[in-house]
Amino acid sequence: MKIAVLAGDGIGPEIVAQAVRVLNALKTDGLGIELEYGLIGGCAVDATGEPYPDATHRLTSQADAVLLGAVGGPQYDNLPRQQRPERGLLAIRKKLNLFANLRPAMLYPELANASSLKYDVVAGLDIMIVRELTGDIYFGEPRGIETRDGERVGFNTMIYSESEIRRIAHVAFQAAVKRQGKLCSVDKMNVLECTQLWRDVVTEVAKEYPQVILSHMLVDNAAMQLVRNPKQFDVMVTGNMFGDILSDEASMLTGSIGMLPSASLDENNKGLYEPIHGSAPDIAGKDIANPLATILSVAMMLRYTFNQEEMARRIENAVKKVLAAGYRTKDIDEAGMKSVGTKAMGDMVLAML
């Protein structure tokens, strides 16, 4: 099995290095994998002028799975839009048809005090956010900034086709069937036609899953409910932009954005695995970033693309043990715990593994 490793920018190389150590440890234990490295994002622009070069696309197309760190940084913010690192991320998602983004927000009991909510509100929290990843306002055309009537206007297009909504709805319903059987679809149908269609299609698909209890919620309320009573949610399904925002919000219920992994899957469970956070330029190069979201993304890779449930659990259990033993990077640290940096956290996960 081939894994394309794209570390990207900012903290990307630091956190991916720890996840690669985990993969290499499993390889030593008999997991048949080969790692190949490529460029994406700002580092790819620096080397080739493109955020997602053809050579990287050849590598990822031939790989069974992709491990990605993060892209972007302030030094790239003034580039022409097509060259911005984030466009590389949009390109890989679109070109590999990775339409189903799974973002589990689960609280490790050891991190109860790190959560931004009180213990009784978050104890046992386990939400699966299913975010559509290749459509919506992030990809819709027309888009741009142009002069109209003597002033500049900026515009993007929120667009979803019925088939795009239907296929992500199926992923979400199937996830709900395997979990507590509850699905909440999040939209803004009171003002956006695009999401009226979203609600209509999700409601139609629900007929194929009578065992799942479907509810609908407007996104502003959903954002509020996530910090009021997050345990009401089992699976949430939503579009690209709302899912992006709600998953960053949900991450803080688990203690830190540095804890949330993700899987981005195509129809055949070929996948790209990355933490949900960005390149965190404010802490890059300081050996303080939390590598656990990236390490937990490797667990998702083993589960979803390689069907190695036992190895996936081994990684998750190693993370649990590290937290139970009191090791904490800065973002989840608290009094009385053992503060560690990025690499030392990787050391501890390897030791527990």
Ligand X SMILES: CC(C)CC(=O)C(=O)O
Site of interaction with ligand NAI (CB under 6 A): 11, 15, 70-73, 86, 89, 257-258, 274, 277-283, 289-290, 293, 331
Nearer to Mg ion, 63 or 67 (CB): 67
Span near ligand X by CB under 6 A; candidates 74-82, 85-93, 164-172, 177-185: 85-93
DSSP sequence for 108-125: -GGGTTTSSS-HHHHTT-
Nearer to ligand X, 90 or 344 (CB): 90
Contact 315, 299 (CB under 8 A): yes
Residue 98 binds what, of ligand X, Mg ion, ligand NAI, none (CB under 5 to 8 Å, by partner type)? none
Q: Is 74 annotated as a binding residue?
A: yes
Active-site residue 220, yes or no?
A: yes
Nearer to ligand NAI, 173 or 273 (CB): 273
Q: Is 78 annotated as a binding residue?
A: yes
Q: Which residue is nearest to Mg ion (CB)?
A: 244
Residue 90 binds what, of Mg ion, ligand X, ligand NAI, none (CB under 5 to 8 Å, by partner type)? ligand X
The DSSP bridge partners found for residue 147 are 152
Nearest approach in angstroms of CB 90 to ligand X is 6
Contact 4, 274 (CB under 8 A): no
Q: Does 318 bind ligand X (CB under 6 A)?
A: no
DSSP sequence for 4-23: EEEEESTTHHHHHHHHHHHH
Residues whose CB is less than 8 angstroms from the CB of residue 90 and which lie 6 or more positions away in sequence, other chains included: 138, 139
How many CB atoms lie under 10 A from the CB of residue 82? 9
C-alpha torsion angle, residues 155, 139, 242, 96 (rounded to 10): -170
Q: Binding marks (x or -) toward Mg ion, 244..273, rule CB under 5 A?
A: x-----------------------------
Nearest approach in angstroms of CB 276 to ligand NAI is 7
Q: CB-hemisphere CA count at 13 Å for 155?
A: 10
Contact 4, 69 (CB under 8 A): no
For 77, the token pair is 């913010």
Residues that bind ligand X (CB under 6 A): 86, 89-90, 244, 276
Annotated binding residues, as ranges?
73-86, 93, 103, 131, 220, 244, 248, 278-290
Q: Which residues are catalytic?
A: 138, 188, 220, 244, 248
